[in-house]
Chain A
């Protein structure tokens, strides 16, 4: 769907991006992860030609984007900016309707689509007639998202879409975001420097350093098969929580107690260790019933969960 081939970009003496190649499959979410200044934004902006690369090619749907009119290309790609970038002289409704107006949609269609989006994004209707400075940072970020989504583009580029938020708000928006049906149908390239966010939202992660790709892979691959020291060190700080998030019940199935017979409600084995722990704690339940492969059902409590996880870990490290 999106393919970057040996893309490089220099600003004066700074090599911002160096020989970056990756491809993003249809409906996949690829997260560009790395420290500040490693070239994430630059890479992203080259995909909608806000920046032109010095060398290399970018293909979208097998077409070289250099052959397209940049304005047309950009109208077809949703873009969420690192700094939100709403127009201060436009109301929220006008900000959201920007691209459809450029595309000359009729009014009724714009209104109904706007309505649909602000509901999905939990924006109060009253904000529509306000100006950006009258909204909170989180609300503004949602408006930025709505503006990018309104034409339902198949490609979405997002530059630290939750960057300006506090931790609590960010976690809740991330959850809402993940749950949005609309986004599951899109090919997304998202930038973040937040490891947890990357693990939360990515299908695959592209880890970058000093303008170069360090490693591309699923969160699990990054965690358990880091290709070099940088990759290892980058995740070291939050290793345990990442592992809880990456490993699911399915993975540790064999290390869990015997199957039982149970007729009540069950959880799926897709549940991550982290989510299972949260359930066990929040719902004041002492045990969870999980339905695994072949409709087998197992019952687990907190001790059994941690012990199963530990055995799995040992097995991974001995591979």
Chain B
């Protein structure tokens, strides 16, 4: 692929500014949350070691909190704490809590009872027993807990980029969406190194003999404080409005790059995941976001599309892309998938998305209702002539399309179906297709052109504004390069769009991207 022409080293040195700031943010997030987790977890652990009756409840709650999937936890935080560092730190803190509480508790109750009794018999007060006997003796176990928490936190902190808290996740998830291996590695390698180094440092502290450990007890929080200090909370806003863009949007010509070059837009921008972006805009954490024109959340969260008056977001077709191998193996597949071609217009797609995103109907139900209304639905034949594997990316529209294809295949052929939905970003989906993990998934011609093929900028520019040309180009190139076929377009166009809250757009009288630029320049 093209990116291989640029070595990882070149990428890293070219992006060294970003790399450094992301690494510092990452370390900062990890450490601040760790300090807070220690500040809360240590006393809690001591408390439940004193009042054993509480231990079941406290450990239970901390355990349950830890099982909440990280993305979901970050999502829960937004309405309460907004986006950025605050919710990320709180989420990390919650994950770090369990190992620290549990190890403090087991460390203290594991101390030889005779030693504790001796301490009492010598006339030590409760506080002296805690500081001079219990904590030093429990310290190796407590440190093991902190170690676990640290490694967990370095990992989970990559997800902080989903809610605009920065960190190495920006590279990792940006790279996944943009099909840029160097970018992924530039994030993943430092993150792994960070985890390994911190773990090694802590194991060193853990292994030093008990004597020195007593001093380490005081050095340790100091180290953490200093490292935690590296993390500056997101710098003061540079503009009156704040934009939240997905990692993919940030790296695309028909995205942030185009906004800068064509419109000259200067806006304070933070990187955030698609999953929480709309919610954050609705909660007034963000003012401008990058979305898809057919997204149901547009309606759900009362957002308005700013008119793209300089045409940097050309519309693209959505169409299933299938491995040639699969077409051979399942002769009826192409015909079946094409049943949907031309059936879904922009407004229909927006409506379908609205039903899942806002009315919270199951994608399966939405898909079936639609097929029935078009007379395409047939009862499953329950055939066994091989299994077609359908993939989808991790957002609503793709789920609906995957369900429709699944029903069409089951109803019209003797094939069985396996769906692998929610395959992260473009890269994950496409890699799954290339590596024979799935047989097809719905893709967009623009993404195929700008993300997967990445032709030289000239061709891209010339092509990107015409959806027919783009379709023809990706069709031939995919066949040549990847042995993958673009089937007939489904009908609707999907393109990027900038959005604002209806109300704010009215108040500021901003209706187009040029309006936005002018508003920002004035304020």
Partner-B contacts on A (CB < 8 A): 48, 50, 70-76, 79, 81, 83-89, 91, 98-99, 102, 131, 147
Q: Are B115 and A102 in contact (CB under 8 A)?
A: no
Q: Are A74 and B123 in contact (CB under 8 A)?
A: yes
Task: Give A147's nearest chain B residue, CB to CB.
Answer: B122
Q: Are B118 and A102 in contact (CB under 8 A)?
A: no
Q: Are A102 and B123 in contact (CB under 8 A)?
A: yes
**Mask for B113-130, Cβ within 8 A of A = 1, else 0?**
011011111111100100
CB within 8 Å of A: which B204-241 residues: 210-211, 213-214
Question: What's the nearest-Cβ distance from chain B to residue A82, in Å?
Answer: 8
Max count, chain A CB within 10 A of own CB: residue among B112, B118, B120, B213: B118
Q: Are A85 and B214 in contact (CB under 8 A)?
A: no
CB within 8 Å of A: which B446-472 residues: none
Q: Are A79 and B137 in contact (CB under 8 A)?
A: no
Known interface pairs A81-B114, A81-B121; 18 further A-B residue pairs with C-beta atoms within 8 A, sorted by A's residue number: A50-B121, A71-B123, A71-B124, A76-B123, A79-B121, A79-B122, A85-B117, A86-B115, A86-B118, A87-B119, A88-B112, A88-B210, A89-B136, A91-B211, A98-B124, A99-B122, A102-B124, A102-B128
A147 contacts which chain B residues (CB < 8 A)?
A: 122
In Å, the complex CA distance between A84 and B122 comes to 12
A50 contacts which chain B residues (CB < 8 A)?
A: 117, 120-121
Question: What's the nearest-Cβ distance from chain A to residue B504, in Å?
Answer: 62
18 A-B contacts (beta carbon < 8 Å)? A50-B117, A72-B123, A73-B123, A75-B123, A79-B122, A81-B117, A81-B121, A84-B114, A85-B114, A85-B117, A86-B115, A86-B118, A87-B133, A89-B211, A89-B214, A91-B211, A102-B124, A102-B128
A87 contacts which chain B residues (CB < 8 A)?
A: 115, 118-119, 133
B114 contacts which chain A residues (CB < 8 A)?
A: 81, 83-85
B210 contacts which chain A residues (CB < 8 A)?
A: 88-89, 131
Q: Are A102 and B122 in contact (CB under 8 A)?
A: yes
In Å, the complex CA distance between A91 and B125 comes to 21
Partner-A contacts on B (CB < 8 A): 112, 114-115, 117-125, 128, 133, 136-137, 210-211, 213-214
In Å, the complex CA distance between A159 and B428 comes to 70
In Å, the complex CA distance between A73 and B123 comes to 7
A74 contacts which chain B residues (CB < 8 A)?
A: 120-123
B214 contacts which chain A residues (CB < 8 A)?
A: 89
In Å, the complex CA distance between A216 and B136 comes to 44
In Å, the complex CA distance between A102 and B120 comes to 12
Known contacts A83-B114, A85-B114, A89-B137: does B120 contact A75 (CB below 8 Å)?
no
**Interface residue from B112, B117, B125, B133 paired with A71 (Cβ < 8 Å):** B125
In Å, the complex CA distance between A70 and B122 comes to 10
A102 contacts which chain B residues (CB < 8 A)?
A: 122-124, 128
A84 contacts which chain B residues (CB < 8 A)?
A: 114, 118
Task: Give B136's nearest chain A residue, CB to CB.
Answer: A89
A86 contacts which chain B residues (CB < 8 A)?
A: 115, 118
Q: Are A48 and B121 in contact (CB under 8 A)?
A: yes
In Å, the complex CA distance between A81 and B120 comes to 11
A99 contacts which chain B residues (CB < 8 A)?
A: 122-123
Question: What's the nearest-Cβ distance from chain A to residue B19, in Å?
Answer: 43
Q: Are A75 and B118 in contact (CB under 8 A)?
A: no
In Å, the complex CA distance between A83 and B137 comes to 18
Q: Are B137 and A88 in contact (CB under 8 A)?
A: yes
Q: Are A85 and B123 in contact (CB under 8 A)?
A: no
In Å, the complex CA distance between A98 and B114 comes to 16
Question: What's the nearest-Cβ distance from chain B to residue A146, in Å?
Answer: 13
B125 contacts which chain A residues (CB < 8 A)?
A: 71
Question: What's the nearest-Cβ distance from chain B to residue A48, in Å?
Answer: 6
Task: Give B137's nearest chain A residue, CB to CB.
Answer: A89
In Å, the complex CA distance between A50 and B119 comes to 11
Q: Are B211 and A75 in contact (CB under 8 A)?
A: no
In Å, the complex CA distance between A99 and B119 comes to 10
A83 contacts which chain B residues (CB < 8 A)?
A: 114
Task: Give B124's nearest chain A residue, CB to CB.
Answer: A102
In Å, the complex CA distance between A98 and B125 comes to 13
Q: Are B124 and A85 in contact (CB under 8 A)?
A: no
B112 contacts which chain A residues (CB < 8 A)?
A: 85, 88
B133 contacts which chain A residues (CB < 8 A)?
A: 87
Task: Give A86's nearest chain B residue, CB to CB.
Answer: B118
In Å, the complex CA distance between A73 and B436 comes to 78
Task: Give A48's nearest chain B residue, CB to CB.
Answer: B121
Question: What's the nearest-Cβ distance from chain B to residue A306, in Å?
Answer: 46
B120 contacts which chain A residues (CB < 8 A)?
A: 50, 74
Known contacts A87-B133, A89-B211: does B122 contact A75 (CB below 8 Å)?
yes
B213 contacts which chain A residues (CB < 8 A)?
A: 89
In Å, the complex CA distance between A98 and B129 comes to 12
Task: Give B128's nearest chain A residue, CB to CB.
Answer: A102
Question: What's the nearest-Cβ distance from chain B to residue A135, in Å?
Answer: 15
In Å, the complex CA distance between A24 and B112 comes to 32
B121 contacts which chain A residues (CB < 8 A)?
A: 48, 50, 74, 79, 81, 85
In Å, the complex CA distance between A74 and B112 comes to 20
Task: Give B121's nearest chain A residue, CB to CB.
Answer: A79
Task: Give A144's nearest chain B residue, CB to CB.
Answer: B118
In Å, the complex CA distance between A131 and B213 comes to 15
In Å, the complex CA distance between A136 and B122 comes to 22
